[in-house]
Amino acid sequence: MKKALSLILALVMALGVTTVAFAGGDEGFYVNVAIADSKGVLQIAYGTVWVADIDEDGAYTINDALYCAHNSYYKGGAAAGYESAKAEGYDGLSLKKLWGETNGGSFGYYVNDNSAWSLLDPVAEDDYIYAFCYQDKTTWSDTYSYFDTKTVESEEATEVELTLSMLAWNADFSAQVVAPVKGAEITIDGEKTGVKTDENGKATVSLDSSCVVSAVSPEGSIITPPVCNVDIPEELSFFAKIINAITSFFNSIIDFFRGLFA
């Protein structure tokens, strides 16, 4: 019994200790990175990545973010899974390997749901960087898609309405325009839900735990898997419940004696 009480007291004391997170270095910042492979599978769903100036060019770029993302998430790090290089006749920097795939050089990358020109395009703190391998390596018909909400935080089970949009080309292919994605099936942690987006790209899903919400392509088209990260706290652990019960018990005793001497 004494050991159990000692453990509970230690846990209570631990709850009062403030921890300081290591930021990852003196210079740099955090961004959110998503990567999808050539099968349309999300390998990183906007994971948090500390960006450093890895090529020491004095700028923080998409290249830096993707390199650091592979070092953080890919087995073997960037040395095994990532490669970029300058191409002849091109002033920017091109992708050569993403998540271990060379993919015939067919890649796309976006920042904050806007198409990027080069891996040397700048990134800033809290940006959302999305890179993918084209599934269609012949006509590159893959269309970039995204949810209007990238994160959902709730203290309890909730219903969430999401709008799925895509960047499509206008009639003369001179510019990209935003259009709704109709008929895409919503997935939760990769599992199909049977819920599909309507003509306005909207869908409502019920969520009761932390998960990644995405979507699979409507029939006859290919979209990049969108990402919405959902954070719903798990139920209190057994020891946390005990601590709460003990705290509640002692508070009731204190309130009782306060009432006697009031």
Domain count for the chain = 2
Q: 210 lies in a domain?
A: yes
**pTM reported for the whole predicted model:** 0.79
The DSSP letter of residue 223 is B
Strand-strand pairing, 107-111 and 128-133: antiparallel
What is the structure's pLDDT at 231?
A: 95
Q: 245 lies in a domain?
A: no
Q: 258 lies in a domain?
A: no
Q: Does one domain contain both 131 and 147? A: no
* 225, 42 Cβ separation under 8 angstroms: yes
* Domain, as residue range, for 93: 29-137
Q: Does one domain contain both 40 and 75? A: yes
From residue 209, give the alpha-carbon distance in Å to each of 41, 152, 163, 188, 244.
21, 11, 20, 10, 22
Alpha-carbon distance 260 to 112, whole Å? 61
Transcribe 109-166 into DSSP letters. Answer: EEETTEE-S-TTSB--TT-EEEEEE-S-TTT---B-EEES-SEEE-SS-EEEEEEEEE
Q: Does one domain contain both 124 and 35? A: yes
Q: What's the CATH number where 34 sits?
A: 2.170.130.30
Buried b (16+ CB within 10 A) or exposed e, 97-117: bbbbeebeebbbbbbebeebe
What is the structure's pLDDT at 166?
A: 96
Amino acid at the residue 23: A
* 163, 145 Cβ separation under 8 angstroms: no
What is the structure's pLDDT at 2?
A: 37
Of 81, 75, 111, which is closest to residue 96 (Cα–Cα)? Answer: 81
Q: What's the CATH number where 156 sits?
A: 2.60.40
What is the structure's pLDDT at 82?
A: 98
- pLDDT by 10s per residue, the chain, length 262: 433 444 444 444 443 433 333 334 458 999 999 999 999 999 999 999 999 999 999 999 999 999 999 999 999 999 999 999 987 666 678 999 999 999 999 999 999 999 998 999 999 999 999 999 999 999 999 999 999 999 999 989 999 999 999 998 777 777 889 999 999 999 999 999 999 999 999 999 999 999 999 999 999 999 999 999 999 987 644 454 565 567 656 666 765 666 666 5
Token code pair at residue 210: 């932390």
Q: Does one domain contain both 37 and 119? A: yes
Alpha-carbon distance 49 to 225, whole Å? 20
Alpha-carbon distance 161 to 138, whole Å? 35
